[in-house]
Amino acid sequence: MRVAIIGTGYVGLTTGVCLAFMGHTVSCLDSDEAKIKALWEGKIPIFEPFLEEVFHEALVNLTFTSTYAEAIPEAEVVFIAVGTPPTPSGAPNLEFLSQAARSIGQHITRDFVVVVNKSTVPIGSGNWVDSLLREAVASRADRSAVQFAVASNPEFLREGSALHDSLYPDRIVIGADEPRALEVLYTLYRPILDQTFTPPNFLPRPETVGAVPLLSTDLASAELIKYAANAFLALKISFINEIGLVAERVGANISEVGRGIGLDSRIGPRFLSAGIGWGGSCFGKDTAALIATAGEYGLHLPIVEAAKKINSRQRDRVVEKLLNELKILKGRTVGLLGLAFKPNTDDLREAPAIEIAQKLIDRGVRVKAHDPIAMEKFEQVYGKMGVQLCQNAEQVVEDCDAVVLVTEWNDYRELDWETLAKKMRAPLILDGRHTLDREKLTRAGVRYVSLS
């Protein structure tokens, strides 16, 4: 099938590359001409494991453009995957979405086109996009030839495992009020639903993956599924962090508590890792948007609100712990291991490291940091913050009064603490992710402290 994708961020680019890998002809559109030029040159603008490899395998089916007149007329399916950044009120900014809808309406030519909201958009956006498209089509002389339907196809991929999640998803959700739209998207996703594609050899199909469930709903339900899924995952993390507070007081081990409750199949083991809490562009934004939408209907969401508060408290607890250990923060040197909001990405949006670094700097602490991938981006965006970037973990720990493990990159699990401890002014590590081996560190003479 012929597909156009508007927006080449994480969601748009991964979707485009995977659909091209399935054999569809995909045109990726982005208003950022520099990005389009880079894509033509085979340069991927984000760090995402395997994206480059799948991109190169699918290249024969991919084109890139900044022009709607090039991407849209041939397309049978148009995905909108533009950014919806948060506004100060928590409601997302829909400017890019409305621009995309209007431009699509001006350029669709097929007798039936499915326009799919893939961006995370407020409930009701499907209807709104439909009306914007209708207005744009109505203003055209050739309007009678054009028919379209709007669908919602929320994305559940995680940064850092975006390709795995797209090729082997837990489910595909399609919200559409028009049955023909569902049929088109079913055909489009068939290789993934039936798992009939030949997997790339670097991303083999896990043995447990069989046919992927397709959930077909109305538009509003699909839109709400996305928000509810992210809110639930976010509150699962906040729940374990709240229990972590109790664990700390009673002397229980929160990792074991997490494992113990997660083995109950009704609860499930994932998203129960306690620590600094969630970051990234999705959980904070989507929980805020859900609260804002509920507010429009006069509703309060105390559970979601509490999840946000607990998450933000975890950042404060890092500073409290350091204060408790070091007694005086002013003039101290603290090293941060990890800047990205999670391992295997260079994404710094709402990364806990940024907030923690700022809180420490505000208290007169000298902050050093390292990240295996995200340092260049950090320098570009937060270069003026006053964090001293180091080439490796060894440089970070040198002359530190404490080191905080912020992001659980694999590289940090294998550090030689016997050697590192000797370089520190005081061998103290605050493990913000319950990821290091307490016994090994203690044997190496390091005082090990965790958040719970």
Q: What are the C-alpha distances in Å from 444 to residues 121, 322, 405, 451? A: 50, 20, 17, 20
Q: In the complex, what is the shortest distance from the CB of residue 83 to ligand UGA, in angstroms, rounded to a whole number?
A: 11
Among 46, 282, 357, 451, contact with ligand UGA (rule: CB under 6 A): 282
Tell me the one-letter amino acid at 23: G
Backbone angles phi, psi at 143, to 5 degrees: -60, -30
Q: In the complex, what is the shortest distance from the CB of residue 346 to ligand UGA, in angstroms, rounded to a whole number?
A: 12
273 makes contact with ligand UGA (CB under 6 A): yes
Tell me, yes or no, if 400 is annotated catalytic. Answer: no
Retrieve residue 318's tokens.
């890092």
Q: In the complex, what is the shortest distance from the CB of residue 284 to ligand UGA, in angstroms, rounded to a whole number?
A: 9
Among 96, 168, 189, 341, contact with ligand UGA (rule: CB under 6 A): 341
What is the rounded distance in angstroms from the CA atom of residue 137 to the CA atom of residue 146?
8
Largest CA distance in the chain: 78
80 makes contact with ligand UGA (CB under 6 A): no
Q: In the complex, what is the shortest distance from the CB of residue 14 to ligand UGA, in angstroms, rounded to a whole number?
A: 10
Report the relative pairing of strands 366-370 and 333-337 from DSSP bridges.
parallel
Among 79, 283, 378, 448, contact with ligand UGA (rule: CB under 6 A): 283
* 282/319 with CB nearer ligand UGA: 282
* Eight-class DSSP state of 25: E
280 makes contact with ligand UGA (CB under 6 A): yes
Q: In the complex, what is the shortest distance from the CB of residue 283 to ligand UGA, in angstroms, rounded to a whole number?
A: 6
Do 238 and 310 meet the contact criterion of CB atoms below 8 Å apart? yes
342 makes contact with ligand UGA (CB under 6 A): yes
Do 325 and 358 meet the contact criterion of CB atoms below 8 Å apart? no
* 110/321 with CB nearer ligand UGA: 321
Which residues, 6+ apart, have CB-to-CB distance to 203 below 8 Å?
A: 50, 53, 54, 163, 164, 167
* 15/61 with CB nearer ligand UGA: 15
Among 48, 76, 159, 431, contact with ligand UGA (rule: CB under 6 A): 159
Of 33-41, 111-119, 274-282, 315-323, the segment contacting ligand UGA by CB under 6 A is 274-282
Burial of 178 (0-12, 13-18, 19+ CB in 10 A): middle
Q: In the complex, what is the shortest distance from the CB of residue 272 to ligand UGA, in angstroms, rounded to a whole number?
A: 6
Retrieve residue 124's tokens.
């009701």
Of 33-41, 157-165, 243-251, 396-404, the segment contacting ligand UGA by CB under 6 A is 157-165
* 105/280 with CB nearer ligand UGA: 280
Which residues, 6+ apart, have CB-to-CB distance to 342 below 8 Å?
A: 159, 160, 279, 280, 407
User: Which one from 28, 282, 390, 400 is the annotated catalytic residue?
Assistant: 282
338 makes contact with ligand UGA (CB under 6 A): no
Do 186 and 145 meet the contact criterion of CB atoms below 8 Å apart? no
Q: Report 180-239 residues binding ligand UGA (CB under 6 A).
A: 230, 233, 237
> How many residues at the interface with ligand UGA, by CB under 6 A?
21
What is the rounded distance in angstroms from the CA atom of residue 57 to the CA atom of residue 47?
17
H or E, element range at 117 = strand 113-117
Of 19-27, 93-101, 269-277, 418-426, the segment contacting ligand UGA by CB under 6 A is 269-277
Q: In the complex, what is the shortest distance from the CB of residue 389 to ligand UGA, in angstroms, rounded to a whole number?
A: 21
Give 264's Cβ-side CA count (13 Å radius). 7
Q: What are the C-alpha distances in Å from 420 to residues 26, 372, 436, 441? A: 50, 17, 14, 10
Retrieve residue 106's tokens.
């001006």
Give 377's Cβ-side CA count (13 Å radius). 18
Among 134, 158, 359, 438, contact with ligand UGA (rule: CB under 6 A): 158
Of 18-26, 139-147, 272-280, 436-444, the segment contacting ligand UGA by CB under 6 A is 272-280
Helix, coil or strand: residue 220 = helix
Tell me the one-letter amino acid at 122: P
284 makes contact with ligand UGA (CB under 6 A): no
157 makes contact with ligand UGA (CB under 6 A): yes
Chain centroid, CA 318 distance in Å: 23
155 makes contact with ligand UGA (CB under 6 A): yes
- Dihedral of CA atoms 171, 173, 178, 180 in degrees, nearest 10, equals -30
Q: Report 107-126 residues binding ligand UGA (CB under 6 A).
A: 120
Q: In the complex, what is the shortest distance from the CB of residue 271 to ligand UGA, in angstroms, rounded to a whole number?
A: 4
Among 278, 412, 417, 448, contact with ligand UGA (rule: CB under 6 A): 278
Where do contacts with ligand UGA occur on this chain (CB under 6 A)? Answer: 120, 155-159, 230, 233, 237, 271-273, 275, 277-280, 282-283, 341-342
Active site residues: 282
